[in-house]
Amino acid sequence: MPDFTIHEYAPLMDSSDMTPEDWQHIAADIKAHYDEYDGFVILHGTDTMAFTASALSFMLENLGKPVIVTG
């Protein structure tokens, strides 16, 4: 099995309360750890998952590694 790390945000929040600032935080974490992993999996509530995925697709354009958003 490949190595992986679980990074959990505290406090946990309901996805319906997410803001663009939260999306920026996720994108910044991915960029900060880009060289350490072959891809990224984001576990997310379903209320705003589509919004988060869309925002990240623009923030991480041309990333070169997969980012999976799932709930």
Instruction: Report whether 46 belongs to an annotated binding site.
Output: yes
Percent of the chain whose pLDDT exceeds 70? 100
Active-site pick, 46, 48, 52, 70? 46
Can you tell me the distance from the alpha carbon of 6 to that of 25, in angstroms, rounded to the nearest whole number?
A: 16
Amino acid at 4: F
Looking at every residue in the chain, the average pLDDT score rounds to 94
Q: State pTM to two decimals.
A: 0.89
Banded model confidence at residue 1, pLDDT cuts 50, 70, 90: confident
Quick one: average pLDDT of 29-52? 95
Instruction: Report whether 29 belongs to an annotated binding site.
Output: no
Clarify whether 46 is annotated catalytic.
yes
Can you tell me the distance from the alpha carbon of 68 to that of 45, in angstroms, rounded to the nearest whole number?
A: 13
Banded model confidence at residue 23, pLDDT cuts 50, 70, 90: very high
| 2: pLDDT strictly greater than 90 | no
Map out the domains of the chain as residue ranges: 19-26+36-69
